Amino acid sequence: MNKAMGLRPGLPDLFIILKNKPFFIEMKRKKGGVTSDSQKDWIDALLKANIPAYICNGFEEAKKIIDLYK
């Protein structure tokens, strides 16, 4: 879907703002999820721009990250 909207490949799946703090999450399966080079590039670029970005393996990992911002 992101590609169809003209965005570069690898953009993290979720962009979340909680308490005025933005962050990105790339979701992966608990087992067998592989992070592509373009996804790694996005994460690196976001981190270099001081924007938190995470790769989470499954819902529970993502929930832990989100809970840090509550």
In this structure, are residues 53 and 43 in contact, taking their beta carbons and an 8 Å threshold?
yes
The pLDDT of residue 2 is 61
Every domain of the chain and the residues it spans: 14-68
pLDDT of the residue at 6 = 73
Task: Give the model confidence (pLDDT) of 23-47 as tens digits.
Answer: 999 999 999 999 999 999 999 999 9
- 33 contact partners, CB below 8 Å, separation of at least 6: 57
What share of the chain in percent tops pLDDT 70? 96
Q: What is the mean pLDDT of the chain?
A: 93
Closest listed residue to residue 24, CA positions, set 32, 35, 34, 15? 15
Give the pLDDT score at 4.
72
Predicted TM-score (pTM) above 0.75:
yes
